[in-house]
């Protein structure tokens, strides 16, 4: 691929980055792309980064489609312009900013703080790296109108990102997300960005917020006396070089747990993530060092948080004493079951309580909620939609907890995003509660399956990088939308939920009904035997994801392995049938 083959519009956009308003390092990087790497040049400039389910996120480097000081600057100026419009009647507009351990995160957060303050906006800037959920808490604590956290969550080390929060402490949702982008798109040149800030409007915050946050989380403990009794529960925790390194041990201690063993090599906050291939607690390789330590010291539970500490991976012992990793649906099942059981036991369920799950998260959560006479709301993928429900129902109904299959969970409404700090403390509490009944977390999960049915989920993510990959993903979605299969796994497809068109089609009757959700590029197929297949492009990564959910009856604990094997075979057959992978 030569420069001559590059779209002239893309080349023109890249050449604009050779102008003096860009620093020398950026100009040199773009110059090298133009002269030596036209394919990478196209990927860097063929589009501008947009807010997806996780905000602004991309590979770091020069270009409109990259995370750098200028894309961060334009996003922040656009945000500032929007805040000044939306809150023009307030005497002071406030924004809190936090950052994770990734390379350039501190620089990007300082850039954002300077631009906001240059626009007359008060900034509360954390003194060092902090978890995403604490940023959400700070937005609410300081009565801010917005918040920013610089993070790419669990993405590989070359990524960084920029998540925007609204005045309720939740990530921006429609119409604010699109309106912010519209303001960003109005900025035609970085010359319009006010980079020179006002230090008098930037207030540094730190330990005092940590204490308030941890104390608030501790108020959500439902079994403090059991925690004290089992304070020596042997826990292994790893921060995976991220922001959980300080606050997870603090939270565990506050909840009453004294025997916390960290993976020392991974306590080091480092954006290169030197001990792991990927800082994603969904991947078994990320937890290897923690699992090795757990086996060595005979621990009872293993937990790992991603770089910005909003997701947590969980390891438990099976009936042979070997550690296995639970997936996000299984962990969410344990959490929701425990919360509802304890709320019911304490007489706290009054008829106005609810939980929330996403459309690709296990239906077992809805079954559990039904048993305890608690409403279950379903939302699009992305925790911001869970926060949106909490906001809508605030003052009318009580949020108990919620979760999504991608390892994000929340209890209570003090924070409005998934919270791995709280989740780690609660999972330790659930382990102590199970131990009090002479059970392990593994045994507790299987007993839940016996009561409600054995739900088995599986996820396949296909990575398709660059402009060509984006076009391939788009073509795959068009094919599923226009030619849905008639049968899956020998069972007729009865319903097709098209969240982009916002229509559900009954394939047996031909009848269509509207979907009362915002538009989202997701297709769901439901069969007669309640198998559920969901297909969606990731909003934060160059991936298309396939979610599989099947169910079987489990009559006794002893039949677990036999039934799970049958469900695994069923999923394998469906994957082959749909030619995925």
**Active-site annotation, residues:** 153
Distance, in Å, from the CA atom of 464 to the CA atom of 516, rounded to the nearest integer, reads 30
Q: How would DSSP label each residue in 472-514?
A: HHHHHHHHHHHS--SEETTEEEEEEEETTTTEEEETTT--EEE
Neighbours of 479 (CB within 10 A): 12
Interaxial angle between packed helices 69-86 and 105-118, expressed in degrees from 0 to 180 and rounded to the nearest 10: 40
Helices (H) and strands (E) in the chain, counts: 18, 23
Element (H, E) at 73: helix 69-86
Distance, in Å, from the CA atom of 290 to the CA atom of 297, rounded to the nearest integer, reads 11
- Contacts for 321 with CB less than 8 Å, ≥ 6 apart: none
Distance, in Å, from the CA atom of 337 to the CA atom of 342, rounded to the nearest integer, reads 9
Distance, in Å, from the CA atom of 123 to the CA atom of 65, rounded to the nearest integer, reads 27
59: β partners: 159
Side-chain-side CA neighbours of residue 334 (13 Å)? 27
Dihedrals φ, ψ of 508, to 5°? -80, -35
Distance, in Å, from the CA atom of 245 to the CA atom of 305, rounded to the nearest integer, reads 9
**Residue carrying the six token digits 């939302």:** 379
Q: In the sheet where 408-411 sits, what is the strand order?
A: 375-379, 353-358, 398-404, 408-411
- Contacts for 262 with CB less than 8 Å, ≥ 6 apart: 236, 237, 238, 239, 245, 249
Distance, in Å, from the CA atom of 479 to the CA atom of 450, rounded to the nearest integer, reads 38
Distance, in Å, from the CA atom of 283 to the CA atom of 273, rounded to the nearest integer, reads 14
């Amino acid at each position: 691929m030569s420069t001559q083959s590059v779209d002239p519009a893309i080349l023109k956009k890249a050449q604009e980055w050779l102008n003096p308003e860009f620093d020398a390092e950026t100009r040199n990087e773009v110059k090298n792309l133009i002269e030596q790497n036209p394919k990478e040049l196209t990927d860097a400039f063929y589009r501008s980064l947009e807010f997806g389910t996780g905000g602004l996120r991309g590979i770091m480097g020069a270009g409109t489609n990259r995370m750098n000081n200028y894309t961060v600057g334009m996003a922040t100026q656009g945000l500032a312009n929007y805040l000044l419009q939306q809150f023009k009647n307030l005497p002071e507009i406030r924004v809190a900013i936090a950052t994770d351990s990734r390379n350039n995160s501190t620089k990007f957060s300082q850039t954002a703080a300077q631009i906001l303050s240059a626009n007359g906006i008060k900034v509360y800037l954390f003194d060092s790296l902090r978890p995403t959920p604490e940023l959400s808490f700070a937005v609410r604590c300081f009565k801010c109108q917005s918040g920013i956290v610089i993070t790419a969550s669990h993405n590989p080390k070359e990524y960084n990102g920029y998540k925007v929060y609204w005045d309720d402490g939740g990530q921006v949702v429609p119409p604010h997300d699109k309106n912010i982008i519209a303001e960003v798109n109005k900025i035609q040149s970085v010359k319009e960005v006010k980079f020179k800030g006002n230090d008098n409007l930037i207030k540094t915050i730190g330990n005092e917020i940590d204490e308030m946050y941890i104390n608030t989380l501790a108020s959500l403990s439902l079994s403090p006396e059991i925690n004290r009794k089992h304070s020596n529960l042997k826990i292994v925790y790893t921060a995976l070089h991220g922001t959980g390194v300080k606050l997870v041990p603090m939270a565990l201690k506050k909840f009453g747990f004294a025997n916390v063993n960290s993976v020392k090599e991974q306590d080091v906050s480092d954006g290169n993530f030197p001990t792991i291939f990927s800082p994603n607690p969904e991947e078994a390789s990320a937890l290897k060092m923690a699992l090795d330590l757990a086996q060595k010291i005979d621990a009872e539970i293993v937990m790992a948080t991603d770089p910005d500490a909003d997701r947590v991976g969980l390891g438990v012992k099976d009936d042979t004493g070997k550690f296995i990793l639970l997936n996000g649906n299984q962990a969410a099942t344990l959490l929701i079951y425990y919360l509802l059981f304890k709320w019911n036991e304490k007489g706290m369920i009054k008829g106005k309580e609810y939980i929330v799950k996403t459309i690709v998260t296990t239906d077992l959560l809805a079954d559990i909620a039904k048993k305890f006479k608690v409403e279950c709301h379903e939302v699009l993928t992305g925790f911001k939609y869970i926060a949106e429900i909490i906001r809508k129902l605030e003052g009318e109904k009580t949020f108990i907890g919620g979760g999504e299959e991608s390892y994000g969970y929340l209890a209570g409404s003090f924070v409005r995003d998934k919270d791995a700090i709280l989740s780690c403390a609660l999972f330790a509490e659930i382990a102590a509660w199970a131990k009090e009944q002479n059970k392990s977390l593994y045994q507790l999960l299987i007993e839940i399956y016996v009561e409600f049915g054995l739900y088995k989920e599986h996820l396949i993510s296909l990575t398709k990088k660059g402009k060509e990959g984006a076009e391939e993903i788009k073509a795959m979605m068009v094919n599923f939308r226009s030619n849905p299969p008639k049968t899956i796994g020998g069972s007729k497809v009865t319903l097709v939920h098209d969240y982009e068109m916002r229509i559900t089609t009954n394939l047996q009757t031909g009848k269509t009904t509207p979907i009362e959700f915002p538009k989202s590029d997701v297709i769901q197929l439901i069969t007669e035997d309640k198998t559920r297949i969901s297909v969606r492009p990731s909003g934060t990564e160059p991936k298309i994801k396939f979610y599989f959910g099947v169910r079987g009856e489990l009559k006794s604990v002893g039949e677990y392995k036999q039934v799970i094997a049958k469900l695994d075979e069923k999923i394998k057959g469906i994957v082959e049938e749909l030619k995925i992978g």
